[in-house]
Amino acid sequence: MCGSNEQSLLYLWNLRTLYIGPLFEEANIIIPAAATLIVALEDDMKMKSRHSDQLVRTRVALLPPGVAFGAETGESLIANLYLDPVGRDLQCLKPRMRACTDGIYHAAENEQELIAAFRDIHQQAPAPADTYRIMNEAVFSALPASFHHEVDPRIWQAIDYVKTHAIDNVSSETLADHVGMSEPQLRRAFKQATGIPLRRNRRWHRLFVTATMLATGMTLTDAALIAGFSDSSHFNHAFREMTGMKPSSLLRRKENTRIFIGQESGY
């Protein structure tokens, strides 16, 4: 089991985010704003969809964005990989899951390889570039030559704009004008491409900005306010809903949490 003194790791890249440490402390409903690959490194985790009583016991789970679920993992080590925002990673990984229960994909074909790779990352805490390489080899290797996932370049423009203006109160109209679409057209196209509403993507990037500021030594409260959350209650709600953790838990473990910021060169 993961003891309270064992380090947690948080890697922040442009397209993906990886957390390894205790997670899902309470039986809350979690609604991730990005497709998520979850790997239990020590024992089975128990999961179920908000709309079902059917329990899933698994070491590896793949969740599309917006799928509301509950999970129990206690203090066990969990690798939580938030995937790219436009669904390419999700479509790549779906065929490798041998079962799907109420929207939760599970029973990965390469389960032991995934567990071993994330255990190694946790034990060694490599630099972001090395971690990205290890993760790519274990999670995304052996893509079929025919694999193709096309996304409207205007959606990439919108995502990049949201990232670079995450702390600004930019209107949807301004964003739509920036990418050359009407606001209703952008909202529809964004939801179709990413699986989540535009406003939820903005909130997700504000969490990303908050974590980046934590890496510079800023307090959690100050970082959340600067990132654009109206108050601590607003931030606490968003953080718990999207990650399954209470911000106070991250703050308690701050001295045992290492945050790395990297820049991948692409998929």
pLDDT tens sequence across 128-167: 999 999 999 999 876 666 667 788 999 999 999 988 887 7
**CA 246/CA 137 separation, integer angstroms:** 32
Question: Is pLDDT larger for residue 231 or for residue 255?
Answer: 231
- Residue 153 is predicted with a pLDDT of 93
Beta strands in 64-209 (DSSP E): 69-72, 78-82, 97-101, 104-108
pLDDT tens sequence across 193-227: 998 888 888 888 888 788 778 767 787 788 888 88
DSSP 94: G
Using 50, 70 and 90 to split pLDDT, how confident is the model at 254? Answer: low
Least confident of 60-69, 146-155, 204-213, 238-247: 238-247
For residue 243, give the amino acid letter.
Answer: T
CA torsion, ordered 228, 232, 237, 241, to nearest 10 deg: 70
- Residue 142 is predicted with a pLDDT of 64
Question: What tokens appear for 6 in the block?
Answer: 């064992």
- Residue 1 is predicted with a pLDDT of 45
**Does residue 241 carry a pLDDT above 60?**
yes
- Residue 10 is predicted with a pLDDT of 87
Q: What is the pTM of this model?
A: 0.86
| DSSP notation for 210-247 | HHHHHHTT--HHHHHHHTT-SSHHHHHHHHHHHHSS-H
Using 50, 70 and 90 to split pLDDT, how confident is the model at 249? Answer: low
